[in-house]
Amino acid sequence: MKLYGGVEAGGAKFNCVVATAPRDRPVAELRVPTTTPAETLPRVIEFFREYDLRALGVASFGPVDLRRESPTYGYITDTPKKGWQHTDFAGLFERTFAVPTGFDTDVNGSALAETLYGAAEGLSSVVYLTVGTGIGGGAVIDGRPVHGLIHPEMGHLPVPHHPRDAYRGCCIFHGDCLEGLASGPAIEGRWNRSPNSLPPDHEAWELEAYYLSRAICAVTYTISPERVVCGGGVMRQKQLFPLIRQKVSEMLHNYIRSELIMHHIEEFIVEPGLEDHSGVVGALELARRAEAGLRH
């Protein structure tokens, strides 16, 4: 039986799956630490060689080159991930397996999966925001992930410093952008403790909600999504959701005249319906679309 292959390439690990369809139970799975391309990619290729693939989808950390006419299409480009800058990524898989290969950002893949199969099923305008080792945001409009000059880079939105926050930020490109102030490493750098070790009532979470709320308001004003899905390791701190919803309501100040935001904001800012599987389901959907000849 020919199978779809999916790769969710994250900054900490690669999740690899093969399945008969995007929402089917995987036939096999593999998790590989994201170390260097020379160590990680051969292990991923070895895993997929065991199966008869019909198509492959790759949902990757970025930035990446998604312009098909570009000589570096399929590359990871100026990523802060050490050792992965300017890596020929999707092209390597396409040449190795000679099957249709879909390629997009990990967050666009997650947004696509949540739109088709998860917490935003049936909606036409959706944003997926992941908060973990880094921060990224993907958007799907009318069933298609948003591309443009490159792709959305919501993790690098400028956000105003909280008046009581002396932390300068950890982004190597911008310092105090959203990722520099609200990612997992930023929380650890500010408090000298890992996020998982901080109690639910620690002041860190009020500060985290402040920055994430600012970003969600900016995204709401610009993209006007019908739902914002928030995932990633930091968002496993469930106390963040009510804090963020309250702050977004206060910051929008009834300017967005939507019944959803004004009276049901718990349905606007939500957890992933696919839990930790949004990325791999999105990668499998990219494979399905590539096989069908669809331009995602």
Describe the crossing of helices 203-223 and 184-191 by its angle, rounded to 10 degrees: 150
User: Residue 296: is its pLDDT beyond 80?
Assistant: no
**Between these two residues, 279 and 258, which has the higher pLDDT value?**
279
pTM of structure:
0.94
C-alpha distances out from residue 59 to 7, 11, 14, 283, 296, Å? 6, 12, 10, 5, 12
The percentage of the chain sitting over the pLDDT mark of 70, rounded to a whole number, equals: 99
Average pLDDT of the chain is 95
| Per-residue pLDDT tens digits for 190-235 | 999 999 999 999 999 999 999 999 999 999 999 999 999 999 999 9
Domain positions in the chain are 3-106+276-291, 119-271
DSSP 75-137: EE-S-SSTT-TTEE-HHHHHHHH-S-EEEEEHHHHHHHHHHHHSTTTT-SEEEEEEESSSEEE
The percentage of the chain sitting over the pLDDT mark of 90, rounded to a whole number, equals: 90
First to last CA, the chain: 25
C-alpha distances out from residue 170 to 132, 167, 179, 295, Å? 13, 9, 8, 36
Tokens of residue 282, six digits: 């999105």
CA atoms of 54 and 2, how far apart (whole Å): 5
C-alpha distances out from residue 260 to 24, 71, 149, 252, 253, Å? 32, 44, 31, 13, 14
The whole-number average pLDDT for the span 170-187 is: 96
* 119-271: CATH topology: Nucleotidyltransferase; domain 5 (3.30.420)
The whole-number average pLDDT for the span 104-120 is: 97
247 residue type, one letter: K
pLDDT of 295 = 64
The whole-number average pLDDT for the span 111-123 is: 97
Q: In the CATH scheme, what is the homologous superfamily, with its name and number, of domain 3-106+276-291?
A: ATPase, nucleotide binding domain (3.30.420.40)
pLDDT of 258 = 86
CA atoms of 268 and 108, how far apart (whole Å): 18
Residues with Cβ within 8 Å of 219's Cβ and at least 6 positions away in sequence, in order, are 127, 129, 137, 154, 157, 225, 228
Domains 3-106+276-291 and 119-271 share a fold: yes
